[in-house]
Amino acid sequence: MFNKVLIANRGAIACRIIRTLKKLGVKSVAVYSEADKHSAHVLQADEAICVGPAPASESYLDHEKILRLAKEIGVEAIHPGYGFLSENAEFAEACDAASIAFIGPTPQQMREFGLKHTARHLAQVNEVPLLPGTGLLDDVAHAQKEALRIGYPVMLKSTAGGGGIGMQLCWDEVELTEAFHSVERLSQNNFSQGGIFLEKYVEYARHIEVQIFGDGEGKVVALGERDCSVQRRNQKVIEETPAPGLSDAQREQLMAAAVRLGEAVNYRSAGTVEYVYDTKSHEFYFLEVNTRLQVEHGVTEEVTGVDLVEWMVRLAAGENDFINSYQHSPSGSSIQVRLYAEDPGKNFQPSSGLLSEVAFDDEVRVDTWVEAGSNVPPYYDPMIAKVIVKGDAREAARERLLAALEKTALSGIETNLAYLKQILADPVFIDGEHYTRYLDKVEYKPATVEVLSPGTQSMVQDYPGRTGYWDIGVPPSGPMDHLALRLANRIVGNGEGTAALELTITGPTLKFNVDAVIALTGATMKAELDGEPVHYWQPIAVKAGSVLKMRGIQGSGSRTYLAMKGGLDVPDYMGSKSTFTLGQFGGHAGRALQIGDVLRLNGEFTLDETCAAAPQQLIPTYEKHWDIHVMYGPHGAPDFFTDGDIETFFATDWEVHYNSSRTGVRLIGPKPKWARSDGGEAGLHPSNIHDNAYAIGTIDFTGDMPVILGPDGPSLGGFVCPATIITADL
């Protein structure tokens, strides 16, 4: 067995390989880009080496640099995982030349199966059923002629690559002509191989694949089939084994054909033979061979009890007895979903940024690389986790997976979590009648609000905020105007502590993707819903697709509150959903809203008997001039201020300074005379005092300027406090 193995990959697969190496007693070496320096695989490995800047071409795909580092640190083998260098024949050859074991198939096998047109030839020679197709095409005219022979629709394919890149469905000659050069360019740019070919398109097709493993000396075993038909843009989303609806005879035929193909080339290590299954004719046809470990290998492991990564490592180390002793007798059913950092509500646009909450069901298998506080970079595939379950039968596995996703929480950026739950609960999936284009007909129904424009310091707050941590320096945060927020929640039928939005000076523009009920309270911002004015202090019904546009404050006051029935679905942080921007925690990703943010609502709502306008006697008046009730002390006259200072302090009309915030409201007015010349041991200025506990609403003198402590302010300070505003007047 090896002493030290390098993992030339990142993310969930790197963590997966590290776990297996630890089980085998083998030291692991992780490589990482600058964008991944805090990634889980870096922390979990025995050693970790930065391999370059964020772009994959300068880090994870720089095989010369990776191999040079491997030589320097003395590793005996390299596991490429999936993606990146996993099917790079030149890299595998370079490893062999450097006497470093490449944990995977041989370079020749990668070449034979890596180009789809040569793989089709191998399949044909070995009597594996093939769809009508072509060899490499010379030009557009050649493609048009062959398409007429095959019959439309046809799939135009790049002979290299995978993951749905370089594939275009063509229903007629016009689409074929338009797509030809585009697919050719994609193939050349992504895989340095411009060859393309045609294949008959099966409209109602399923994607079935067989996991094989070979010892490189002619022995190949099949570990069962997987159904990977739930796809979006030719990218797999949900995978399962066994494939639903197949007969035992069909399973045997699929596996026998895959073994035959593997044996023909003395296949080594893990690989997958992929098929198209025609749901109308119930016939299967060869698609391609992936000469690497697949993303979905986990479902096969769950039903067979085999650790495929362990098999790969052991074979590369010279062991192969486990292949000869393998008897295929799978147990139960396993389903996997891929959790992506992408927004299904925005045509699956990838999302990146801070994950402020990560929680998984600890009773199921989760292959992931993220935790709360992880930063998802924009440079790589957006998959952040695979949730894998096993049940005695398919329905038991489906129910268990759905329950596991209900326990899963991912906040801070948008993911496809809700989309996956919708698919798993869809009758088509439940009945096992899905096919590769099935998701085209699934309409995603998000309970979300999209931030088209964020406004100024718009953020999530709840009442009473983050209590119980004041003595250790964590402020409560919460609303500046808690009366307005509580009334907004009351209007829409929420509890007074439900999270809502606090809007400052100028408001956001929000698009509602779901029916909702809202209420606006506080200072009056100009507000329009689909161009119509919105009334304050009463419930307003909002239809899915509507846009709420908030502008500047009209009149007095600084803050407006927007409550939504059911509340905002953001995680608790230290017992509160309130945003503390200075601490970068709470609310939505620990910050004010930004353009493109997606806020989740706790359900879809309509007006009902729980919604009612605020009683007129409870609605405050927002004015330019305020008389505020305070408690005098603890630092008054004659010890700190003169009697005249105190009289002036209470009699003055103070003006709010422009440099005020949630931390504190600064006041402009006369300077005190002071009853002492300095602060003694506490400092040179007479306002200085040894650490003094504050309350929210306390007025402290920072030098000669009074500051009303806000909900994001400090709990301790070194300044005198002549008064504290009573709670009712905050």
- Six token digits for residue 77: 């083998």
Are the C-beta atoms of residues 6 and 70 closer than 8 Å to each other?
yes
Query: Residue 318: CA atoms inside 13 Å, Cβ hemisphere, count?
Result: 4
pLDDT beyond 90 at 132: no
Neighbour-count burial for 400-429, b at 16+ CB within 10 Å, e otherwise: bbbebbeebebbbbbbbbbbbbbbbebeeb
**Per-residue pLDDT, 359:** 97
- Locate all alpha helices (DSSP H) within 305-393, ordered by sequence: 308-316, 321-324
For 519-576, the pLDDT digits (tens) are 999 999 999 999 999 999 999 999 999 999 999 999 999 999 999 999 999 999 999 9
Structure tokens given for 69? 């580092």
Rounded Cα distance between 424 and 430, Å, is 7
pLDDT grade, residue 718 (50/70/90)?
Answer: very high
Which two structure tokens, joined as six digits, stand for 559?
């803050």
162 pLDDT more than 70: no
Judge if pTM exceeds 0.85: yes
Between CA 251 and CA 249 the distance in angstroms is 5
- Distance from C-alpha of 105 to C-alpha of 86, rounded to nearest angstrom: 9
Q: What is the pLDDT of residue 191?
A: 66
CA distance 554 to 518: 20
CA trace torsion 559, 564, 568, 569 (10° rounding): 180
Is the distance from CB of 227 to CB of 240 less than 8 angstroms?
A: yes
Residue 163 predicted with pLDDT over 60: no
d(CA 402, CA 545): 28
**pLDDT for res 193:** 67
Q: What are the tokens at 471?
A: 């003595």
CA distance 43 to 50: 13
pLDDT of residue 373: 93
Model confidence band, residue 164 (pLDDT cutoffs 50, 70, 90): low
Q: Angle CA(380)–CA(386)–CA(389) in degrees, nearest 5? A: 170
Q: What is the pLDDT of residues 455-489, one digit of tens each?
A: 999 999 999 999 999 989 999 999 999 999 999 99
The upper half-sphere exposure of residue 511, i.e. CA atoms within 13 Å in the direction of its Cβ, equals 13
Q: What is the structure's pLDDT at 347? A: 92
The per-residue pLDDT for 233 is: 85
Segment 412-469, tens digit of pLDDT: 999 999 999 999 999 999 999 999 999 999 999 999 999 999 999 999 999 999 999 9
Kindly list the distances between the CA atom of residue 63 and the CA atoms of 68, 105, 297, in Å, as whole numbers in the listed order.
Answer: 8, 17, 25
What are 376-388's pLDDT values in tens digits?
999 999 999 999 9
